[in-house]
Amino acid sequence: MTKSSPRPRRSTLAVPGSSLKMIDKARALKSDALFLDLEDACAPAAKPAGRENIVKSLNEGGFGDRVRTVRINDWTTEWTYRDVVDVVGGAGANLDCLMLPKTQDAAQVQALDLLVTQIEKAEGLEVGRIGFEIQIENAKGLLALDAIAGASPRVETLIFGPADFMASIQMKSLVVGEQPPGYDVGDAYHHILMSILMAARAHDLQAVDGPYLAIKDLDGFKRVAGRAAALGFDGKWALHPTQIDDLNEIFSPRQNDFDHAENILDAYAWCTSETGGARGAAMLGDEMIDEASRKMALVISAKGRAAGM
């Protein structure tokens, strides 16, 4: 998959690698992407069985055209290399991406690239096909965003991990995704989200917002997801199946915006072909359309088409 036509990731379902039952259930759910988790949703004693479950499930298939990702453990643990060797070695042909949590610098991404490349060669897999999803979850990762985003051609997405991030910077909140109580002058996440978005766009990557833990609070979930979508993020995680449909809707353009974007593109194409490219602006009703409006329309149109509109 090329960067110019990225796989849609409006909704990414989190699935514990330790539960074959939940992995099985995920096959029938309509998320654009899913990740089978060997990290925080998989207790230390459950990691070996989690690796086996994941390899078995990926090889059995049944995930349709969803992006199939496995979240490995971060490089500061003793589990990372074994996660990669077992999962890529055992199911590399049926895996789209590895997710690297708590990424701190470019060297961690490059180390993962070297290891995956060796396994691909040893197993006769296509070298470079498996992509990376990079979680930004601490101050070091945020400060190294540009280098991390450019560290490997395998990097496809940058993901905000609010729970670990809040813990790492000692933000005073226990409700993940919501504002810290007492901070009443704006959005405490704005700088982090914008920094991730800027690095993603500068490197032609997708930007994905992480989890909202109060899974029964669908209104709160939709509010927070809507903010990320409004900023320009490509999608968000679902921790529960009830969150998937809302994400697919929130991160798709509204039908009238999609139709409007298509009309802008048609009007601009018509005008430039009629004038042999001599005119740089066209009218659509009362609206003047120029090259910049064409680019804005292209964004909405591409997102809509990726969403099947």
Which residue in 49, 163, 188, 307 binds ligand GLV (CB under 6 A)? 163
- Under the criterion CB under 6 A, does residue 164 sit at the interface with ligand GLV? yes
Residue 210 binds which entry of ligand GLV, Mg ion, none, CB below 5-8 Å type-dependent:
ligand GLV
Give me the residue label for tokens 């400060």. Answer: 143
**Cα 283 from Cα 287, distance rounded (Å):** 6
- Under the criterion CB under 6 A, does residue 156 sit at the interface with ligand GLV? no
Token pair of 242 as six digits: 């009830």
* First-to-final CA distance of the chain: 20
Burial of 305 (0-12, 13-18, 19+ CB in 10 A): middle
Binding residues for Mg(2+): 137, 164
The one-character DSSP state at 36 is: E
Scanning 124-183, the segments in alpha helix (DSSP H) are: 139-143, 145-149, 162-169
- Under the criterion CB under 6 A, does residue 17 sit at the interface with ligand GLV? no
- Under the criterion CB under 6 A, does residue 137 sit at the interface with ligand GLV? yes
Binding residues for substrate: 71, 137
**Cα 183 from Cα 173, distance rounded (Å):** 10
Stretch that binds ligand GLV, among 53-61, 156-164, 226-234, 277-285 (CB under 6 A): 156-164
Q: Which is nearer to Mg ion, 32 or 164 (CB)?
A: 164
Q: How far is the CB of 43 from ligand GLV (least distance, A)?
A: 15
Q: How far is the CB of 101 from ligand GLV (least distance, A)?
A: 6
CA dihedral 57, 59, 64, 70 (to 10 degrees): 60
Residue 17 binds which entry of ligand GLV, Mg ion, none, CB below 5-8 Å type-dependent:
none
Binding residues for ligand GLV, per CB under 6 A?
101, 135, 137, 161-164, 210-211
